[in-house]
Structure 1
Amino acid sequence: MISFTLMIIFGAYILGSISSAIVVCFLFGKGDPREQGSGNPGATNVLRIAGPFAAALVLVFDILKGTVSVYLAFLVGVDPISIGIVAIAACLGHMYPIFFRFKGGKGVATALGCLIAMGFSLAGLLLGTWLLVVLITGYSSLAAIITVSLAPVYTVFFKPEYIFSVLMLSALIVWQHRDNIRRLSRGEESKIWKKGNVNE
């Protein structure tokens, strides 16, 4: 069972390493998103580069990477701690993809996908938080930072068995946003609808 769990963890990392943003931008003839806009291969940057339909595809695919990985772990009866490690592996694959020179996105959508598989109530609350902050402030990065910071609090009420895994995921994603935090503090962060050579 241990070797099978390790295989699922490895598979989650490999699935996470498939960069939806790079693939979709290539299919849309928009080049490499890592060389445009913010340089981040995520849905927000793709929105600026290739438009809402391409960004929606990236968002869906990035969410599915997390959902499929964690749901598969559920199906085979993996314990909660190992399920958390599977979720972290999927996000690490997205952040540091083996197929794309270990330069990936920030893992927010993939983490949401993992949490969807853990529980719809938890995922819905997190998505609602993200949307609310974006609508109020216009900053995708700030919405992500606030949402993942609140994720452990929500988890205590809805899925307490995953609290340690969610804490690790939250810390990892906040770390990935460290440059955004500096720009936000200096008032230099760009809003989600702004196009051009901008940060995310």
Structure 2
Amino acid sequence: MEYLFPLLGYCIGAIPFGLVFSKLVGTDVRQAGSRNIGATNVSRVLGKKLGFLTLVCDCLKGFLPMYLVASLLPESGSREGIVLLTGIAAVIGHMFPVYLGFKGGKGVATGLGVFLYLSLPAILISLVVFAGAVALTGFVSAGSLLASALIPVWLWLVGSSPATIGAAAFIGLLIWLKHHENISRLIRGEEKSWRKK
């Protein structure tokens, strides 16, 4: 029965809040900007308020399922693994939502929620890294890539378990794979800057 929790995590992670909010204001965020349903594109297309709301909701998709599972499951040898799998499933749900034909976002905000559950100190360091990278380069994707790549290092430094570090590394890998187009544009010098022209 406990192995159904990752399925719950996936179903929650698959809720496309960015698309829901865009539909509520009479548009489809998939038809504008980068055509992504994540917070960055929502902010570009619909404004910072809806972008921030999308960020918060997508972040909660990663945090709340893990918190719920950890609260419901008794202490056992499998508890940590089930909680981690639930978080990973939430990120996969955001990236490949069954509700949208498996075409979703890039997992950064939902991954942030997972990392927030895993370790507040580690995520605070990563947020500093993210903000610094975006400020220096002007690219949100650069900040996301750098922060997701380094989160396992911060988790190791704060004494997290090998399973936790492994789960974070796997999510980071998924985020990098989902950003393959951004990486190509960064290499070619064609990535869109967050800075206004």
TM-score, normalising length from structure 1?
0.91
* Residue 79 of structure 1: how far off its partner (Å): 2.3
| Aligned twin of 1:23 | 20
**Residues 100, 121 of structure 1: alpha-carbon distance in 2 compared, 3 angstrom cutoff:** same
Tell me if 1:46 matches 2:48: no
Higher relative contact order, chain-length normalized (CA < 8 Å, sep 6+): 1
| Aligned twin of 2:7 | 10
Larger CA deviation: 6-15 vs 78-87: 78-87
- Could you say what secondary structure the match of 2:148 adopts? helix
* Residue 82 of structure 1: how far off its partner (Å): 2.3
Q: Find the aligned partners of 1:24 and 1:194 in 2 and give their Cα distance.
A: 24
Q: Find the aligned partners of 1:193 and 1:13 in 2 and give their Cα distance.
A: 34
1:48·1:194 contact (CA, 8 Å) conserved in 2? no
Query: How is 1:28-177 mapped onto 2 (pairs within 5 angstroms)?
Result: 28-29=25-26, 31-77=27-73, 79-161=79-161, 162-177=164-179
Which of the residues 186, 189, 195 maps onto 1:187? 189
Partner deviation per Cα, 1:99-132 (whole Å, 9 max, x = no partner): 1111100000001101111121112112221111
- Could you say what secondary structure the match of 2:60 adopts? helix
Q: Find the aligned partners of 1:106 and 1:159 in 2 and give their Cα distance.
A: 28
Structure 2 spans left out of the alignment, 5+ residues: none
* Residue 175 of structure 1: how far off its partner (Å): 0.5
1:47·1:55 contact (CA, 8 Å) conserved in 2? yes
Q: Find the aligned partners of 1:11 and 1:73 in 2 and give their Cα distance.
A: 10
Structure 1 spans left out of the alignment, 5+ residues: 196-200
* Residue 160 of structure 1: how far off its partner (Å): 2.5
**Residues 68, 184 of structure 1: alpha-carbon distance in 2 compared, 3 angstrom cutoff:** same
Q: Find the aligned partners of 1:108 and 1:84 in 2 and give their Cα distance.
A: 16
Partner deviation per Cα, 1:67-122 (whole Å, 9 max, x = no partner): 10111122124622222211110001000111111110000000110111112111
AA aligned opposite 1:26: K
AA aligned opposite 1:182: S
TM-score, normalising length from structure 2?
0.92
AA aligned opposite 1:37: G
* Residue 194 of structure 1: how far off its partner (Å): 5.0
AA aligned opposite 1:189: E
Of all paired residues, the percent bearing the same amino acid is 35
1:16·1:94 contact (CA, 8 Å) conserved in 2? yes
- Could you say what secondary structure the match of 1:160 adopts? coil
